[in-house]
Amino acid sequence: MLILLDANVLFTAAHNPRGKAAFLITLGNGGIFKLTTSTYAREEVRRNLECKFPEVLPEFKRLVATICIVPENLSLPCPERLAEKDRSIFRAAYGCKADVLLTGDLRDFGFLMNAPKLASGILIQTVADFLAAIG
């Protein structure tokens, strides 16, 4: 199973190394599934941490060292209702053939949550929902 992580998941994992997002990355590192993120998401998190929590940058660098980074492809399809700012992460998930896109952005991705038929076959969930589903 290939899982693409949105920037907010990576930010949370770096900022809270004992939380669910960090636990998910630990599971991925254990080979339970493969983790990926986009170039854009990685850079967005790095910039935000640098400004807000520079002390966790080493943890962030450790986390992303184990995650496959994929490019965005602006020519790929995307749900029309998805906010422009979130289209690159969706396209990265679509382009790398991710099975799951994990995000905490309920405001913009809410209409696509747990609705793979609306999301080109990609299951979009929160980290908590995903962890609950896998037991």
**Token pair listed for 82:** 């998805």
Tokens 């209409």, located at residue = 111
Given a cut of 90, is residue 128 above it in pLDDT?
A: yes
- The predicted pLDDT at position 109 comes to 96
Mean residue pLDDT of the chain comes to: 95
101, β-bridge pairs: 4, 124
Judge contact between 103 and 89, C-beta under 8 A. Answer: yes
Q: What is the DSSP letter of 92?
A: H
Q: What is the pTM of this model?
A: 0.95
Please name which of 69, 103, 71 lies closest in space to residue 86, comparing C-alpha atoms.
Answer: 103
pLDDT digits 0-9 by tens, 7-23: 999 999 999 999 999 99
The domain spans of the chain are 2-134
- Return the CATH number of the domain spanning residue range 2-134: 3.40.50.1010
